[in-house]
Chains A and B, each alone.
Chain A
Amino acid sequence: NAGVTQTPKFRILKIGQSMTLQCTQDMNHNYMYWYRQDPGMGLKLIYYSVGAGITDKGEVPNGYNVSRSTTEDFPLRLELAAPSQTSVYFCASSDSGTGYSPLHFGNGTRLTVT
């Protein structure tokens, strides 16, 4: 299993540009999440999904959109990039079975908006 795969690894955007951060997982997990991590800080939840077709806002959703058309994929869309969105973005997934299912994280996308 590849686990959680994020692309691209790095990206530089100009203010006002848009882009989609890709995330895919091959573990058949129902739950998927997007977090952002600013330098020296913890992770903040942007959006999450409990299954295909279902998404919901996390702590810091403004400026982002998500979709979940398949179990495997959970792309994050930035429509009008702003310098405040410079961050490292982590995608994660977890199972929905009984008992605790740990979060499995990708290795992140490092985004700079200038």
Chain B
Amino acid sequence: DAKTTQPPSMDCAEGRAANLPCNHSTISGNEYVYWYRQIHSQGPQYIIHGLKNNETNEMASLIITEDRKSSTLILPHATLRDTAVYYCIVANNNAGNMLTFGGGTRLMVKP
């Protein structure tokens, strides 16, 4: 699976959009971009995933560049409860979902 690079930490003001970047320059054609987050002391939670088109759900939006070498997770109106570690993972979509969780980005939403 391709490796991802994320900033170790970011701050965001409550109510503003949080934009979390992820670089995955070695992504291959059949690999998807997945985002999970881990709120303190809990198990990770799925947020969103995509292949090449931008995706949106009730939690977030995922913007993938045209060359697929990077992506951005957008939380449109961050709340204090969005404070968490956000993991960007690249893997193929084969059954089994053996995802590799790296260090992630620690997002701190501040009042």
Contacts and interface: CB of A to CB of B under 8 A. Distances in A.
Q: How large is the interface on A (under 10, 10 to 19, 20 to 34, 35 or more residues)?
A: 20 to 34
B65 interface: no
Interface of A: 4, 31, 33, 35, 41-45, 48, 50, 58-59, 90, 92, 94, 96, 99-108
Interface size class of B (residues with CB under 8 A): 20 to 34
Nearest to B85: A42
Interface string B93-109: 10111111111100000
Contacts, number: 55
Interface in B40-57: 41-46, 49
Given A48-B98, A103-B99, 13 more contacts: A33-B98, A41-B103, A42-B87, A42-B100, A42-B101, A43-B44, A43-B101, A45-B100, A58-B98, A100-B93, A101-B97, A102-B97, A106-B43
